[in-house]
Amino acid sequence: MPDQSIKITGPFRQLLTMDKLPLKGSLKDAQLEIIEEAGIVHQNGLIIETGQFKSLCTKYSFAGITIQPIDTDLIVLPGLVDPHTHICWAGSRENDYALRLEGKSYAEIAQSGGGIWDTVNKTRHASGVELNKSLISKSSRQLSCGITTCEVKSGYALNLEGEIRLLEIIKAVRQEHPIDLVSTCLAAHIRPRDFEGTANEYLQYLTMMLLPLIKSEELSNRVDIFVDEGGFSAREAENYLKAAKKLGFDLVVHGDQFTSGGVHLAVNLGAKSVDHLEVIQSGEIKILAASDVVATALPGASLGLGCTFAPARRLLDAGCCLAIGSDWNPGSAPMGDLLVQTAILGTFEKLTNAEQLSAITFRAAQALGLNDRGILKKGYLADFIGFPGRNYREILYNQGMLKPRFVWKRGAQFF
């Protein structure tokens, strides 16, 4: 029997609700709603109310209430949302990394047999049990770092059975692990070397054979494509994305990492987000700001490749909705620590605490099309995390090394 009692968790030294903030544009810390000596009332995994702990205890002082007392100073935020990862893979690419340290580029390494194709070979040969175990372990690490919702892409099998297998593994882990995993089909990562045909023919094959299967098996409702050097051209991507949209998928684009083209496509087709944006130009920033497409920066890939960061400050000042994802993958972003990466992007790009925290809570939820999380208010998921401390500014000041002491997912405490 699920526990249906009403619970009050608290008191918390500070509670950041992330409520009443605009979805787009720059933010000042003074705009943050902070409740001191706060509590959260929740039931069945949903928030009933937030407010001052003492008055909540008085208001709900009738039978059947459970008080979950906290006897340490905590700063509480909504559970973090990582809107972009590739954490379903096998193997490791430390040799690619060493080659990059010697000066080789990502594209050169891919051409000489490393890169994504290397991970595809290792993932295809890994057993389901191995992949399942690895995804569970990465999901647990994410949860312990305060991430209560995590997007996961396929894209390391690049054939029909393999891509289905990866999406099935993500679905299985979603069912057994407390973290919410949101799956995305990235079969259009690169053209697989063993596919006999052009890039266009590969995309047509995916459209005809793979996407309908994913829909009917309810394995994902999101389709992503790598639009760049080494991936697909914007022209090739357009037909594929249009077909995916027709089938009812939400769209996502890996765009403007090395070359431009992805932003126009994402905006024209009404994608949920366009991710990377390291080389985005002023014209595209304007177009993106005028749209509802979320701009997702991936500082972990800049750190992994030793490249510039996406111009997060300019994106916000232009009025974009900025999310930040870890891009955790074995090639470009092996670190996989969203909070560290957010803090590093924040210091280089001059992002306020409010902008950084929004980018990994409700704005990241927007990138996933989820409007039930990322804010602590009535009716939203009781996903919340508590960092030791007395002032919310301690979190990013510690540049990601201050980890949550407690993580609650749908009202249940996990760490």
Interaction site with Fe ion (CB under 5 A) = 327
50 touches ligand NIG by CB under 6 A: no
Per-residue contact string for residues 78-97; x = within reach of ligand NIG by CB under 6 A: --------x-----------
CB 84, CB 151: distance < 8 Å: yes
Report what 179 binds from Fe ion, ligand NIG, none; CB cut-off 5-8 Å by kind. none
119 touches ligand NIG by CB under 6 A: yes
- Tell me how long the chain is: 415
Q: What are phi and psi of 18, to 5 degrees?
A: 60, 20
Stretch that binds ligand NIG, among 33-41, 131-139, 191-199, 326-334 (CB under 6 A): 326-334
CB of 61 to ligand NIG, least distance (A): 51
CB of 115 to ligand NIG, least distance (A): 6
The only residue of 116, 166, 211, 354 in contact with ligand NIG, by rule CB under 6 A: 116
DSSP, res 232 = B
CA distances (Å), origin 307, targets 57, 100, 164, 263, 301: 51, 11, 33, 19, 8
- Nearest CB to Fe ion, comparing residues 82 and 236: 82
Report what 332 binds from ligand NIG, Fe ion, none; CB cut-off 5-8 Å by kind. ligand NIG
- Nearest CB to ligand NIG, comparing residues 26 and 184: 184
Where does residue 68 rank: exposed (0-12), middle (13-18), buried (19+ CB within 10 A)?
middle
Stretch that binds ligand NIG, among 4-12, 315-323, 327-335, 406-414 (CB under 6 A): 327-335
* Spatial distance between the Cα atoms of 245 and 75, rounded to a whole number of angstroms: 41
* Spatial distance between the Cα atoms of 371 and 149, rounded to a whole number of angstroms: 12
CB of 82 to ligand NIG, least distance (A): 13
Number of chain positions touching ligand NIG (CB under 6 A): 14
Q: How far is CA 301 from the centre of its chain?
A: 13
330 touches ligand NIG by CB under 6 A: yes
CB of 312 to Fe ion, least distance (A): 17
254 touches ligand NIG by CB under 6 A: yes
Of all residues in this chain, which one has the CB nearest to ligand NIG in the complex? Answer: 331
- Nearest CB to Fe ion, comparing residues 87 and 126: 87
Question: Which long-range contacts does 286-289 make (Cβ < 8 Å, 24+ apart)?
Answer: 286/318, 287/263, 288/263, 288/315, 288/318, 288/320, 289/24, 289/315, 289/318, 289/319, 289/320
326 touches ligand NIG by CB under 6 A: no
* Binding to ligand NIG in span 269-298, by CB under 6 A: none
**Torsion over CA: 318, 324, 329, 334 (sign):** positive
Q: What angle do CA 191, 187, 225 make, to 5 degrees?
A: 80
Structure tokens of 346? 């924040």
Residues in contact with ligand NIG by the rule CB under 6 A: 86, 115-116, 119, 226, 254, 257, 301, 327, 329-333
